[in-house]
Amino acid sequence: MSNLPSSTRDFYGYGSALPSVKWPNQHRVAVSFVLNFEEGGEFSMTDGDSRNESIYEVIDSQLSPDQCIDSHFEYGTRTAYWRISELFASHGMHYTLSACGQAVERSPWLAQHAVSQGHEVSAHGWRWQKSIDLSPEDELEAILKTSETIKRVTGLAPRGWHTRSNPSPNTRRLLVQNGFLYDSDAYNDDTPYILQVEGRPHVVLPYAFDTNDMQFQNTQRFGTGDDFADYVCAAFDWLWREGTDKPRMLSIGLHLRMIGRPGRIGALERIMKHIQARGQAWVTTREQIAQHWLSSLSNQSKP
Domain presence at residue 280: yes
pLDDT at 280 over 80: yes
| Neighbour tally for 240: CB within 10 Å | 20
Domain presence at residue 1: no
Q: Is 222 exposed, middle or buried (0-12, 13-18, 19+ CB in 10 A)?
A: buried
179: left (phi over 0), alpha (psi -120 to 50) or beta: left
| Neighbour tally for 70: CB within 10 Å | 18
Domain presence at residue 12: no
pLDDT in tens, 28-48: 999 999 999 999 988 888 989
Domain presence at residue 19: no
pLDDT in tens, 88-140: 999 999 999 999 999 999 999 999 999 999 999 999 999 888 888 889 999 99
H helices present in 18-65, as ranges? none
101: left (phi over 0), alpha (psi -120 to 50) or beta: alpha
Q: What is the CATH number of the domain that holds 152?
A: 3.20.20.370
227: left (phi over 0), alpha (psi -120 to 50) or beta: alpha
Domain presence at residue 192: yes
CB under 8 A, 24+ apart: contacts of 176-180: 176/200, 176/202, 178/140, 178/143, 178/144, 178/147, 179/147, 180/123
Structural domains in the chain (count): 1
Contact (Cβ atoms closer than 8 angstroms) between residue 301 and residue 201? no
pLDDT in tens, 159-189: 999 998 889 999 999 999 999 999 999 999 9
| Neighbour tally for 115: CB within 10 Å | 17
Largest CA distance in the chain: 64
What is the distance between the alpha carbons of residues 229 and 271, in angstroms, rounded to a whole number?
Answer: 6
pLDDT in tens, 200-254: 999 999 999 999 999 988 667 899 999 999 999 999 999 999 999 999 999 999 9
Domain presence at residue 11: no
Q: Is 245 exposed, middle or buried (0-12, 13-18, 19+ CB in 10 A)?
A: exposed
Domain presence at residue 238: yes
What is the distance between the alpha carbons of residues 127 and 131, in angstroms, rounded to a whole number?
Answer: 10
Relative to beta strand 200-204, strand 248-255 is unpaired
Q: Is 95 exposed, middle or buried (0-12, 13-18, 19+ CB in 10 A)?
A: buried
Domain presence at residue 114: yes
Per the structure, the complete domain to which residue 155 belongs is given by: 24-301
